[in-house]
Amino acid sequence: MIFANPECRTPARGLTRLRGWFARTASVGALALILAPAAPGQAAPRGTDDFSTTIRPFLAQHCIKCHGEKKQAGKLALHQLDGSLASEKARETWARVAEKLWLGEMPPEDEQRPSPHASGRVVNWLAAEFARAGHKLTPPPAMELPGGGNRVSHEALFAAKVTPGTPPPATAARLWRISPQIYDELLRDGVGKNVKSVTQPFSMLTGEGFKDYAGAFVVDEPTTGLLMRNADSIVAAQTRFTVEDGQFKRAGFPREFNPLLDTNAPPTEAQMRTAIVQQFKLVLRREPTADELARFTAFMRKNIADAGQVAGARATLTAVLLLPEAIFRSELGAGEPDTHGRRLLAPRELAYALSFALTDAPPKGELQSALDKGQFVASRESAKREVRRMLADPKLGKPRVLRFFREFFGYHHATEVFKDDKENKEHDARVLVEDTDQLVLHILDADKDVLRELLTTTKSFVSHKNAAEQKKKRAEALAKFETDKAKNPEKFKNKTFNPQGREVFRAYGLDDFPDVQPVQLPATQRAGILTQPSWLVAFSMNFDNHPITRGKWIRERLLGGTVPDLPITVDAQLPNAPEQTLRQRLEVTKQEYCWQCHQRMNPLGLPFESFDHFGRFRSTERVQDKPATEANVDKQGKSRGPVFKEVALDTRGSVAATGDPRLEGDVSDPLALVRQLAGSERVRQVFVRHAFRYWLGRNETLADAPVLQAADRAYVENGGSFRALVISLLSSDAFLYRVNAGTVTASNPASKKVQP
Ligand code: HEC
Ligand code: HEC
Alpha carbons 547 and 247: distance in angstroms, whole number: 70
Alpha carbons 142 and 405: distance in angstroms, whole number: 24
| Strand partners of residue 148 | none
- Over 70: is that where the pLDDT of 68 sits? yes
Q: How far is the CA of 575 from the centre of ligand 2 (A)?
A: 13
What sign for the dihedral angle of Cα 282, 285, 287, 289? negative
Residue with the smallest CA separation from ligand 1 atom 33 is: 106
Residue with the smallest CA separation from ligand 2 atom 6 is: 594
- What values do phi and psi take at 204, rounded to 5? -125, 170
Q: How far is the CA of 101 from the centre of ligand 1 (A)?
A: 10
Alpha carbons 299 and 314: distance in angstroms, whole number: 11
Q: Which residues contact 619 (CB under 8 A, 6 or more apart)?
A: 649
Cα of 445 vs its chain's centroid, Å: 22
Tell me the average pLDDT across 111-130.
87
Task: With beta carbons less than 8 A apart as the criterion, state whether 513 and 460 touch.
Answer: no
Alpha carbons 415 and 676: distance in angstroms, whole number: 29
Alpha carbons 649 and 619: distance in angstroms, whole number: 6
Other beta carbons less than 10 A from residue 283's beta carbon: 20
Angle made by CA atoms 622, 626, 628, in degrees to the nearest 5: 95
Q: How far is the CA of 681 from the centre of ligand 2 (A)?
A: 29
Other beta carbons less than 10 A from residue 483's beta carbon: 10
What sign for the dihedral angle of Cα 448, 453, 455, 459? negative
Tell me the average pLDDT across 694-708.
94
Q: How far is the CA of 106 from the centre of ligand 1 (A)?
A: 6
- Over 50: is that where the pLDDT of 744 sits? no
- Over 50: is that where the pLDDT of 128 sits? yes
Q: How far is the CA of 64 from the centre of ligand 1 (A)?
A: 9
Residue with the smallest CA separation from ligand 2 atom 36 is: 594
* Ligand 1 and 106: CB distance under 6 A: yes
- Over 70: is that where the pLDDT of 3 sits? no
Alpha carbons 101 and 207: distance in angstroms, whole number: 28
* Ligand 2 and 552: CB distance under 6 A: yes
Q: How far is the CA of 572 from the centre of ligand 2 (A)?
A: 6
Residue with the smallest CA separation from ligand 2 atom 23 is: 572
Closest CA to 126 of 161, 170, 91: 91
Q: Which pLDDT band, with edges at 50, 70 and 90, does 558 fall under?
A: very high
* Ligand 2 and 576: CB distance under 6 A: no
Lowest mean pLDDT: which of 184-198, 518-532, 609-623, 628-642? Answer: 184-198
Torsion of CA 235, 237, 239, 245, to 10 degrees: 150
Q: Which residues contact 592 (CB under 8 A, 6 or more apart)?
A: none
Alpha carbons 152 and 103: distance in angstroms, whole number: 7
Residue with the smallest CA separation from ligand 1 atom 20 is: 74
pLDDT of residue 453: 98
Q: Which pLDDT band, with edges at 50, 70 and 90, does 753 fall under?
A: very low
pLDDT digits (tens, 9 = 90+) for 225-271: 999 999 999 999 899 898 888 888 887 788 999 999 998 899 999 99
Q: Which residues contact 383 (CB under 8 A, 6 or more apart)?
A: 350, 354, 730, 731, 735, 736
Lowest mean pLDDT: which of 198-207, 516-525, 625-634, 711-720? Answer: 198-207
* Ligand 2 and 23: CB distance under 6 A: no
* Ligand 2 and 593: CB distance under 6 A: yes
pLDDT of residue 193: 66
* Ligand 1 and 107: CB distance under 6 A: yes
- Over 70: is that where the pLDDT of 321 sits? yes
Cis peptide before 164 (omega within 30 of 0): no
* Ligand 2 and 16: CB distance under 6 A: no
Quick one: which ligand is closest to 99's CA?
A: 1
Alpha carbons 608 and 547: distance in angstroms, whole number: 7
H or E segment and range at residue 677: helix 670-678
What sign for the dihedral angle of Cα 637, 642, 648, 649? positive
- Over 50: is that where the pLDDT of 412 sits? yes
pLDDT of residue 291: 95
For the chain, helix, strand, coil in percent to 5 are 50, 5, 45
Lowest mean pLDDT: which of 366-370, 471-475, 483-487? Answer: 471-475
Cα dist from 494 to 198, 477, 478, 489, 497, whole Å: 56, 18, 16, 9, 10
Tell me the average pLDDT across 659-678.
96
Q: How far is the CA of 127 from the centre of ligand 1 (A)?
A: 20
* Ligand 2 and 591: CB distance under 6 A: yes
| Strand partners of residue 243 | 248
Q: Which residues contact 88 (CB under 8 A, 6 or more apart)?
A: none
Tell me the average pLDDT across 332-337.
84
* Ligand 1 and 656: CB distance under 6 A: no
Nearest atom within ligand 1 for CA of residue 63? 37
Other beta carbons less than 10 A from residue 93's beta carbon: 18
- Over 60: is that where the pLDDT of 655 sits? yes
- Over 90: is that where the pLDDT of 707 sits? yes
Alpha carbons 284 and 201: distance in angstroms, whole number: 18
Residue with the smallest CA separation from ligand 2 atom 16 is: 549
* Ligand 1 and 76: CB distance under 6 A: yes
Burial of 323 (0-12, 13-18, 19+ CB in 10 A): buried
Burial of 753 (0-12, 13-18, 19+ CB in 10 A): exposed
pLDDT digits (tens, 9 = 90+) for 432-444: 999 999 999 999 9
Quick one: which ligand is closest to 592's CA?
A: 2
Residue with the smallest CA separation from ligand 2 atom 11 is: 566
- Over 60: is that where the pLDDT of 755 sits? no
Q: Which residues contact 248 (CB under 8 A, 6 or more apart)?
A: 241, 258, 261, 262, 263, 264
Average pLDDT value over all residues in the chain: 87
Angle made by CA atoms 721, 172, 9, in degrees to the nearest 5: 85
- What values do phi and psi take at 672, rounded to 5? -60, -40
Ligand 1 binding pocket mutation candidate from 59, 63, 67 (most atoms within 8 A of CB): 67
Alpha carbons 627 and 643: distance in angstroms, whole number: 9
Task: With beta carbons less than 8 A apart as the criterion, state whether 345 and 335 touch.
Answer: no
Residue that wins the pLDDT comparison between 379 and 466:
379
User: Count of H helices and E strands in the chain?
Assistant: 31, 13
Lowest mean pLDDT: which of 28-37, 397-406, 522-531? Answer: 28-37
Q: Which pLDDT band, with edges at 50, 70 and 90, does 48 fall under?
A: low
Residue with the smallest CA separation from ligand 1 atom 10 is: 73
Residue with the smallest CA separation from ligand 2 atom 41 is: 594
Lowest mean pLDDT: which of 39-48, 50-59, 467-476? Answer: 39-48
Burial of 85 (0-12, 13-18, 19+ CB in 10 A): buried
Ligand 1 binding pocket mutation candidate from 54, 66, 71 (most atoms within 8 A of CB): 66
Quick one: which ligand is closest to 590's CA?
A: 2
Tell me the average pLDDT across 517-527.
96
Nearest atom within ligand 1 for CA of residue 58? 38
Tell me the average pLDDT across 523-535.
97
Residue with the smallest CA separation from ligand 1 atom 26 is: 74
What sign for the dihedral angle of Cα 17, 23, 29, 31? negative
Tell me the average pLDDT across 647-665.
94
pLDDT of residue 190: 67
Cα of 278 vs its chain's centroid, Å: 34
Compute the half-sphere exposure of residue 357: CA atoms within 13 Å on the CB side of its CA. Answer: 30
Alpha carbons 293 and 431: distance in angstroms, whole number: 50
Other beta carbons less than 10 A from residue 292's beta carbon: 18
Angle made by CA atoms 277, 374, 755, in degrees to the nearest 5: 35
Cα dist from 679 to 452, 509, 610, whole Å: 7, 27, 21
- What values do phi and psi take at 630, rounded to 5? -65, -30
- Over 90: is that where the pLDDT of 663 sits? yes
Residue that wins the pLDDT comparison between 274 and 339:
274
Tell me the average pLDDT across 687-714.
96
Ligand 2 binding pocket mutation candidate from 544, 557, 563, 570 (most atoms within 8 A of CB): 570
AA identity, residue 379: S
Nearest atom within ligand 1 for CA of residue 114? 38
Q: How far is the CA of 583 from the centre of ligand 2 (A)?
A: 15
- Over 80: is that where the pLDDT of 505 sits? yes
- Over 90: is that where the pLDDT of 160 sits? no
* Ligand 1 and 121: CB distance under 6 A: no
Q: Which residues contact 59 (CB under 8 A, 6 or more apart)?
A: 78, 79, 81
Per-residue H/E/C for 78-131: CCCCCCCCCCHHHHHHHHHHHHHHHHCCCCCCCCCCCCHHHHHHHHHHHHHHHH
Task: With beta carbons less than 8 A apart as the criterion, state whether 388 and 513 touch.
Answer: no
AA identity, residue 103: L
Torsion of CA 725, 731, 732, 735, to 10 degrees: 110
Residue with the smallest CA separation from ligand 2 atom 2 is: 597
Residue with the smallest CA separation from ligand 2 atom 30 is: 572
Nearest atom within ligand 1 for CA of residue 111? 1
Q: How far is the CA of 659 from the centre of ligand 2 (A)?
A: 23
Q: How far is the CA of 624 from the centre of ligand 2 (A)?
A: 25
Residue that wins the pLDDT comparison between 1 and 415:
415
* Ligand 1 and 554: CB distance under 6 A: no
